[in-house]
Amino acid sequence: MSGKYEDKIQKLLSEMTLEEKAGQLRQCGPSLVGAFEVSFEELLDMMFDGRISQEEFNRLMGTAKQDFREEDLKAGRMGSYNGIGDAATVNRLQKIAVEETRLGIPLLFGYDVIHGFRTVTPIPLAESCAWEPELWEKTARVAAKEATAAGVHMTFAPMVDVSKDARWGRVSEGAGEDVLLNSLYGAAKVRGFQGEDLSAEDSMAACVKHFAAYGAAEAGRDYNRVDMSLQRLWEEYLPSYKACVEAGARAVMPAFNDINGVPCSVNKWLLRDVLRGQWGFDGMTVSDANAIAECVNHGIAADRAEAAQMALEAGMDMDMTSEAYIENVVQLVKKGAVKEEVLDQAVADILRVKFELGLFDHPYKTSEEREKDAMLRPEYRAVAREAAVKSAVLLKNEKVLPLKKDAKIAVFGELAAAREEMTGAWAIGADGNDCVSLTDGLDAAGVSYIYEAGIKDGAVDEAAVGKTAGEAEILLCVLGEHKEQSGEAASRADITLDPSQQALFDLLVKTGKPVVVILFNGRPLAIPQIAEKAAAVLEAWHPGVEAGNALADLLYGKENPGGKLTVTFPFASGQCPMYYAHINTGRPGGKSKFTSKYLDTPLEPVYPFGYGLSYTQFAYSGEKIVRNEDSFTVSVKVKNVGERAGDEVVQCYVRDPAAKRARPVKLLKDFLKVHLEAGQEREVAFEVPFRSLGYYDWDMNYVVEEGEYVFYLGGSSAECLSIPAVL
């Protein structure tokens, strides 16, 4: 290693005791003590199963004392904390590290800043539907400005786990089912979080997760096994992490899951050969929470000591919360089970990132004053509003949207007035009261409406709904998921709407009045009846603090929806995983019974990948292809044939119809979002290098085959112009 800080790192290592080295590998969250009569885990369960409300839970948490293990910190037995997001605590603990430990090595503070810190922006899945790398970078920059002001040095983001299974709750945290989108999304987030210079006060290190293929958990059940061919791993899952490493991410979090039987936490091939060897990564790795110790449960380590040994040897630098390292590493080195140079390398990786963050020169990168006026600035709210507008996807519109300002509308559904629900999963720095609900947004826009939640104690209040619906011309029905229904540990076997929500919708449809459905959710839902019977459907996801304002802008036509789906909406839960880039079987689904299909669902999804409408329409024509020396240039003309300006995401897919390994029926190669005035036409060209058309053959060689290809150009994966090419 010949980097800028290597001499300093070596000098420090030469002064450190084994105990101090083990301390650097340790990351803890504050543990909670006192105040509860039951354990913290039981308390959490009580909230999740409804025995206590979220308010009661928060009240109890507020009375609990946090234990930061300060004695351990003073003794040099702590390298990092997780989950502390306030400047006063961060600086107080940092002062102990710098002034009271023998070597004064500063602490590293990590935090889950997934989609905004205090200014919560749309969930990542939503934001990916904007198909706009500049926006992804911009929202990450806002997150970094706020989080660093609160003392955060590293965010456990971006999550770039390609996920093709809507049942998996964490589909909400990434950029959907496509590998190219996840790669571009991840790289943009890394740039946004880290800024130009990692040592700047408003830069934080990005920790890419969950390496690797966590999104491929079998049957969409969280933490489940992952078993797949290496070809598929390299083609469909690894490139997004690689893109983040290439964008300069300084940390990587190995995933909870195993790959082909070896948990990522102890997977030497993944962490040493691929990540460090082939990709040249020289940042730090940090385990997922408790994941090292969990290798015993996986059935690959006999006990915690063996798990620690395997993880360290595999290249896992930091132990997040399991304590398997701090309990065992010194002994493992003393008895020769782990070489000291292996330990030194892990410590060096962590120290390197601390140096790069500038922590040795400026251990206190924030102050309470800076923190005070760093949050929720109007310009940050403006970015959140822009992102929420661009994330929304118009799925259906029978000329009912945009609404006229004087339309007599009634709004139904408790999510319409639920501020906190707008944050979605993983918004731990948020205050739900900051959020603008849909009804708040309508109030702010100055439109008149009547509101009826419509569901009481789990059942539709038919009388109240009927009465309110009778007084309006257009019925807005707000449906979807609560924020706890997606995210970590929130897989669902059934991704249809809650029965009471479905009943509310059915009752509204019965009135014969147009029903406009607004969806707040963290994953694709199986909603064929909504797609069939609603007059319009607007997918808003969990849009963040500016939810209601963004929606009012969209509903009343101040803004024109331009988002496109980055995940497929299946017809039924049992079709999962359902995704556009599948390969054909020998019997592709068709009319005949003996083809690859289900007896009880249509062949096609309800809404395909890449799909999304606008208040204007776009027409495609004039597809062309030019063969250059080492690339194809494919182009198409796109015209706004409607009556107002709008954004269109022009998509370019490719297929290799006769390859030595079956290739996807369509694979996204490039895209461009264009803004077109009414009547305006533009030619959009994509350059596709020959090199990018390859795949891994049976023997794991990357090959680009000569022969025929087909390019597809259009505004949805399901509706494209095709154009043949020969290589």
Using DSSP, state whether 641 is helix, strand or coil. Answer: coil
Residues whose CB falls within 8 Å of the CB of residue 370, separated by 6 or more in sequence, listed in order: 87, 149, 201
Element (H, E) at 146: helix 133-149
Contact 441, 552 (CB under 8 A): yes
- CB nearer ligand BGC, residue 289 or residue 479: 289
Structure tokens at 426: 């993983």
Among 146, 161, 288, 452, binds ligand BGC (CB under 6 A): 288
Q: Which residue is nearest to ligand BGC (CB)?
A: 156
Helix boundaries (H) for 514-557: 528-533, 547-555
- CB nearer ligand BGC, residue 487 or residue 612: 487
Decide if residue 212 touches ligand BGC (CB under 6 A).
no
- CB nearer ligand BGC, residue 252 or residue 333: 252
Least CB distance from residue 32 to ligand BGC, whole Å?
15
Least CB distance from residue 346 to ligand BGC, whole Å?
19
Residues whose CB falls within 8 Å of the CB of residue 23, separated by 6 or more in sequence, listed in order: 72, 75, 76, 77, 78, 79, 326
Please tell me the distance from the alpha carbon of residue 403 to that of residue 399, in angstroms, as a whole number: 9
Please tell me the distance from the alpha carbon of residue 351 to that of residue 356, in angstroms, as a whole number: 9
Please tell me the distance from the alpha carbon of residue 566 to that of residue 673, in angstroms, as a whole number: 14
Among 115, 167, 209, 250, binds ligand BGC (CB under 6 A): 209
**Burial status of residue 4 (CB atoms within 10 A of its CB: 0-12, 13-18, 19 or more):** exposed
Please state whether 458 falls in left (phi above 0), alpha (psi between -120 and 50) or beta.
left
Bridge partners for 207 per DSSP:
251
Please tell me the distance from the alpha carbon of residue 580 to that of residue 722, in angstroms, as a whole number: 16
Apex CA 169: angle with CA 163 and CA 175, to 5°?
Answer: 40
Q: Between 36 and 75, how does the x/- string for binding to ligand BGC read (CB under 6 A)?
A: ----------------------------------------
Least CB distance from residue 166 to ligand BGC, whole Å?
19
Q: Binders of ligand BGC among 73-102, rule CB under 6 A?
A: 82
Question: How many chain residues interact with ligand BGC (CB under 6 A)?
Answer: 7
Which of 288, 440, 553, 647 is flagged as catalytic?
Answer: 288
Least CB distance from residue 28 to ligand BGC, whole Å?
12
- CB nearer ligand BGC, residue 174 or residue 714: 174
Apex CA 419: angle with CA 416 and CA 420, to 5°?
Answer: 125
Torsion, CA 669, CA 673, CA 677, CA 680, rounded to 10: -20
Residue 122 DSSP code: P
In the chain, the amino acid numbered 86 is: D
The residue assigned the tokens 């794991």 is: 700
The residue assigned the tokens 């496509």 is: 178
User: How far lies 491's CA from each of 218, 297, 415, 486, 566, in Å?
Assistant: 11, 20, 21, 7, 19
Q: Between 423 and 462, how does the x/- string for binding to ligand BGC read (CB under 6 A)?
A: ----------------------------------------
Report the Cα 352 to chain-centroid distance in Å. 27
- CB nearer ligand BGC, residue 82 or residue 121: 82
Instruction: Say whether 288 is catalytic.
Output: yes
Q: How many CA atoms lie within 13 A of 274 on its CB side?
A: 18
- Going across the sheet that includes 667-676, the strands are 667-676, 646-655, 708-716, 719-726
Least CB distance from residue 290 to ligand BGC, whole Å?
8
Among 112, 294, 313, 434, binds ligand BGC (CB under 6 A): 112
Structure tokens at 725: 């090419």
Least CB distance from residue 289 to ligand BGC, whole Å?
4
- CB nearer ligand BGC, residue 252 or residue 554: 252
- CB nearer ligand BGC, residue 149 or residue 289: 289
- CB nearer ligand BGC, residue 27 or residue 309: 27
- CB nearer ligand BGC, residue 287 or residue 549: 287
**Burial status of residue 683 (CB atoms within 10 A of its CB: 0-12, 13-18, 19 or more):** exposed
- CB nearer ligand BGC, residue 287 or residue 601: 287
Among 108, 208, 216, 289, binds ligand BGC (CB under 6 A): 289
Least CB distance from residue 433 to ligand BGC, whole Å?
23
Least CB distance from residue 317 to ligand BGC, whole Å?
15
Backbone angles phi, psi at 650, to 5 degrees: -85, 125
Q: Between 147 and 166, how does the x/- string for binding to ligand BGC read (CB under 6 A)?
A: ---------x----------
- CB nearer ligand BGC, residue 344 or residue 488: 488
* Crossing angle of the two packed helices 324-334 and 340-356, in degrees rounded to 10: 130
Residues whose CB falls within 8 Å of the CB of residue 463, separated by 6 or more in sequence, listed in order: none
Element (H, E) at 389: helix 378-391
Least CB distance from residue 170 to ligand BGC, whole Å?
8
Candidates 570, 683, 673, 705; CA nearest to 621 is 683
- CB nearer ligand BGC, residue 274 or residue 289: 289
- CB nearer ligand BGC, residue 294 or residue 647: 294
Cα dihedral 77, 81, 87, 89 sign: negative
Contact 575, 606 (CB under 8 A): no
Least CB distance from residue 253 to ligand BGC, whole Å?
6
Least CB distance from residue 288 to ligand BGC, whole Å?
5
Least CB distance from residue 222 to ligand BGC, whole Å?
9
Least CB distance from residue 489 to ligand BGC, whole Å?
8
Among 344, 488, 697, 705, binds ligand BGC (CB under 6 A): 488
Backbone angles phi, psi at 584, to 5 degrees: -75, 145
Residues with active-site annotation: 288
Give the footprint of ligand BGC on this chain (CB under 6 A): 82, 112, 156, 209, 288-289, 488
